[in-house]
Structure 1
């Protein structure tokens, strides 16, 4: 009660204005939302379900990080906050972001012996612009943290009240990510005058109020703890990847603190191997079946199913497969094969799908010719494309240039005799052309593509 009375009396007039002014200047222009990529949409209402993911720095890594913080004259908390900021920067792409921390708020000697809850939350506005080396980022975090400690008397609720950030039930105002580092060695030493022993007890109610919170505990030789992630928007595997990437960043900067943020690992080692080697192993990927192979497979499964129907004509899959195979045998005898171009000048009868598939069976390419186009255009297209043959019908033959070889599928039916047995399909090279289409061209002159 005495502390509350003192705080209300202190937070008035110029004192309050100065404290608010400092924090407002620190947060000016900094996004008030940390937009971490989520696995699912954020609930419209507040949901507290969380999930813990263990974090462990072994003795070698802990020693390297302690040496780094000593050289850079920074506390281990400042180093942990800088590592968290580099992680959130990599995940969100934000160059300026807020990382929060909880502060004991016992910055006066009179408060040390008092029982009570004096905890306050400090939003650290961290600037990562310019792709700085990690040691420079650590210096920036150090300066921000020291300034925040010097202005910790302003209650976080008062700052939120004045700044009035956009509020949603599913997201905490200003601070959505938090970092904490606790000194287990200091906490484990009770007053020697008391017969007390302090043993830590881990408790977790399964809830979280932040999207991501790193709680780290520093022991004699190692640092351990957990990432508490919002289970409403993050899968368990996503939280685990965050931890692995956090540890990868820590190992990288412990080895070389001059690395720029862009040079820090984008993936943990295991995930990097999975992405580059396991997911990208396309050497043995099977080629997709060709349209001819698909047709043959369908004809074997459902031979009597209707494949084509129109103008009084109908073909089952078995009939379509057999007729196109017989036509392909004739076309091969006439020189059809890969890169050979064969024209299609047919009306929409059952002969059209037979002709198209017959050409593809040989590995040749087809050249569709529109029956409504003028003869001059057809003649140009055939000459320009270099068609070796045209499949047509007797009633359309007179509309083709006399010098082009033709095969009439209606009057030339005797040339297309049954072949027993039907031979296996020859593999079709997917690198060869399958067809040539002629457009009007930008100049009005037809152009084949």
Structure 2
């Protein structure tokens, strides 16, 4: 965007890198790839992994409305910098990612507050695992469901190891569009809830480069 804007101001052609594929190429690949024949193994994984999932029932101070609404609020809770450092050190010591640590903490918290040790949490994947699409402008994001069972008698490191396996297994099958997973495993639709996933854990750690636009404040 910055290059196109600058080129427009300077009356020149934008100096954009050549891409091996376009978003149209990706759409054509996806249309061919996302058939029942190609997705059968992936869908079998999700049917097995998410079989008999029960919805999260958090203790609330108001009854759940019969039809889901978008009313609500936003609560921002900054973490102390030293806690962030300790979390990163824990991830390094256990050979996992920071995302896996945060997911394990969230899963444990949800299990304790719902009284249900079987917890499904969602996350958003970038869909840019292939190097050919990393610089292509377009929407590749998909939702992935992560199911973990919490055993209160085990150590947190044991839970962390199991969450790691959950993440690796789910990401290996992340190409299946979330709506196809819902159709395959969520037979009972409840208008008061989101299907399968009601809590998301998303770690936004993409480096932000400053954008400079000439003659613009």
**TM-score band, normalised by shorter chain:** 0.7 to 0.9
Is contact 1:96–1:128 with CA below 8 Å preserved after alignment?
A: yes
Equivalent residue in structure 1 for 2:70, among 42, 48, 63: 48
Residue 13 (structure 1) shift: 4.6
**Residue 200 of structure 2 aligns to a residue in which SS?**
strand
Is contact 1:165–1:174 with CA below 8 Å preserved after alignment?
A: no
Give the TM-score taking structure 2 as reference length. 0.82
Is contact 1:36–1:91 with CA below 8 Å preserved after alignment?
A: yes
Task: Compare the two structures and name the one with the higher strand fraction.
Answer: 1
Is 1:188 the counterpart of 2:208? The answer is yes
Is 1:58 the counterpart of 2:80? The answer is yes
Aligned twin of 2:18: none
Is contact 2:50–2:185 with CA below 8 Å preserved after alignment?
A: no
Unaligned runs of 5+ in 2: 1-23
Is 1:81 the counterpart of 2:103? The answer is yes
Equivalent residue in structure 2 for 1:24, among 43, 47, 52: 47
Give the TM-score taking structure 1 as reference length. 0.41
RMSD over aligned Cα atoms: 1.7
**Residue 122 of structure 1 aligns to a residue in which SS?**
strand
Query: Deviation string for 1:240-267 (max 9, x for gaps)?
Result: xxxxxxxxxxxxxxxxxxxxxxxxxxxx
**Residue 73 of structure 1 aligns to a residue in which SS?**
coil
Residue 14 (structure 1) shift: 4.2
Q: Distance in 2 between matches of 1:10 and 1:4?
A: 10
Residue 97 (structure 1) shift: 1.2
Query: Deviation string for 1:272-316 (max 9, x for gaps)?
Result: xxxxxxxxxxxxxxxxxxxxxxxxxxxxxxxxxxxxxxxxxxxxx
Residue 150 (structure 1) shift: 1.2
**Residue 176 of structure 1 aligns to a residue in which SS?**
coil
Q: Distance in 2 between matches of 1:172 and 1:139?
A: 28
Q: Distance in 2 between matches of 1:130 and 1:105?
A: 34
Q: Distance in 2 between matches of 1:170 and 1:29?
A: 19
Is contact 2:47–2:184 with CA below 8 Å preserved after alignment?
A: no
> Kindly tell me: are residues 40 and 112 of structure 1, through their superposed partners in 2, closer, same or farther at Cα, counting changes over 3 Å?
same
Is contact 2:121–2:197 with CA below 8 Å preserved after alignment?
A: yes
Residue 197 (structure 1) shift: 4.5
Is contact 1:96–1:126 with CA below 8 Å preserved after alignment?
A: yes
Aligned twin of 1:146: 168
Is 1:7 the counterpart of 2:27? The answer is no
Is contact 2:51–2:185 with CA below 8 Å preserved after alignment?
A: no
Is contact 2:121–2:199 with CA below 8 Å preserved after alignment?
A: yes
Q: Distance in 2 between matches of 1:164 and 1:181?
A: 26
Deviating 4+ runs (over 6 angstroms): none
Is contact 2:57–2:114 with CA below 8 Å preserved after alignment?
A: yes
> Kindly tell me: are residues 57 and 197 of structure 1, through their superposed partners in 2, closer, same or farther at Cα, counting changes over 3 Å?
farther
Is contact 2:68–2:192 with CA below 8 Å preserved after alignment?
A: yes
Equivalent residue in structure 1 for 2:129, among 104, 107, 122: 107
For 1:32-431, list aligned pairs within 5 A. 33-129=55-151, 131-183=153-205, 186-189=206-209, 196-197=211-212
Is contact 1:82–1:141 with CA below 8 Å preserved after alignment?
A: yes
In our comparison, the structure showing a higher alpha carbon Rg is 1
Q: Distance in 1 between matches of 2:173 and 2:157?
A: 25
